[in-house]
Structure 1
Amino acid sequence: MYELKTKETDNSVIEFIENVDNPKKREDAYKLLDIFAETTGYEAKMWGPSIIGFGTYHYKYESGHEGDAPLAGFSPRKAKISLYFATGDTERELLLKDFGKHTSGKACVYINKVDDIEIDVLKVLINQSIKFLKDTYPTK
């Protein structure tokens, strides 16, 4: 049976951020922590060793694969900061046009620093991700 690697843990979010080597990235992680917590209304939790997640939802795919994941989150990685929003939401791509300097992959949006992005658009992206996931995977 497939075992999920990224699960919610009891590890300290603050301790994780304090261990970020790059001082500017650490400062940006604290800014994002405040923005995500304020925007989502959820407490920050560690997911796996390196993702700071907010809220949770349970997904189940047609393949039968299922699990839990954060509604939104971020990770201050060495190369770039990864932002986690819902995938499959067409609204996300429209919002990213006004987001600022970033690159995006299937599951993540990558930024170099918080100063490169529009905070107001970030807040809309966070809220849109939560709405999309709650609509797609309603709790029973």
Structure 2
Amino acid sequence: MGELKTRPTTASVSGFLAQQADARRADCEAVLRMMEAATGERAEMWGAAIVGFGRFAYVDSAKKTREWPLVGFSPRKNDLTLYLMPGFDGCAESLAKLGRHKTGKSCLYLKRLADVDAGVLRELIERSVQAMAPQRIRR
């Protein structure tokens, strides 16, 4: 396995968000505030399209130690994708209360922030940060 393509960059988060359509940008800014509050970390760009907060370490299949954002999001064409590790086991009750969404292994897909309960979303983000605390890299 070679080097990861998705790594922290020095690109401007505000510049990246400014490129989004107004409604999507407003959703991104709200999620940014939630993730900053949950992690106590400033946002940084990971690759060209992921806004990440904090870092955690993991060992990949090639036994290399890698870093990934503690939590993050990316405004994609069809959805606002939130990256919430380690996934959603034990979250059925919260997800049932969240509102309109889809999930992948560690991804939460939202069409619009207005479609979900902001308090429940905040809880899911905070739960993710707490779950990853043992692997968190403090800087």
TM-score, normalising length: structure 1:
0.88
Q: Is the 8 A contact 2:87 2:107 kept in 1?
A: no
C-alpha displacement at 1:105, in angstroms? 1.1
Q: Deviations over 1:52-105 (max 9, x none)?
A: 111111111465143100111111112110011013452344432221110011
**Aligned residues: percent identity?**
34
How do 1:1-140 and structure 2 match up within 5 A? 1-20=1-20, 22-61=21-60, 63-88=62-87, 90-135=89-134, 137=135
Question: Structure 1 stretches (4+) deviating beyond 4 angstroms?
Answer: none
For the aligned residues, what is the CA RMSD?
A: 2.0
Q: Larger deviation: 86-95 or 102-111?
A: 86-95
| Structure 2 unaligned regions, length at least 5 | none
Task: State the alpha-carbon separation in 2 of the partners of residues 90 and 138 from structure 1.
Answer: 20
> What SS does structure 2 have at the residue aligned with 1:90?
coil
Task: State the alpha-carbon separation in 2 of the partners of residues 18 and 3 from structure 1.
Answer: 29
> What SS does structure 1 have at the residue aligned with 2:97?
coil
Task: State the alpha-carbon separation in 2 of the partners of residues 12 and 133 from structure 1.
Answer: 26
| Structure 1 unaligned regions, length at least 5 | none
Task: State the alpha-carbon separation in 2 of the partners of residues 89 and 23 from structure 1.
Answer: 30
Task: State the alpha-carbon separation in 2 of the partners of residues 26 and 110 from structure 1.
Answer: 16
Task: State the alpha-carbon separation in 2 of the partners of residues 117 and 94 from structure 1.
Answer: 14
Task: State the alpha-carbon separation in 1 of the partners of residues 42 and 67 from structure 2.
Answer: 16
Judging changes above 3 Å, is the alpha-carbon distance between structure 1 residues 86 and 92 closer, same or farther for their aligned structure 2 residues? farther
Q: Is the 8 A contact 2:8 2:45 kept in 1?
A: yes
> What SS does structure 1 have at the residue aligned with 2:10?
coil
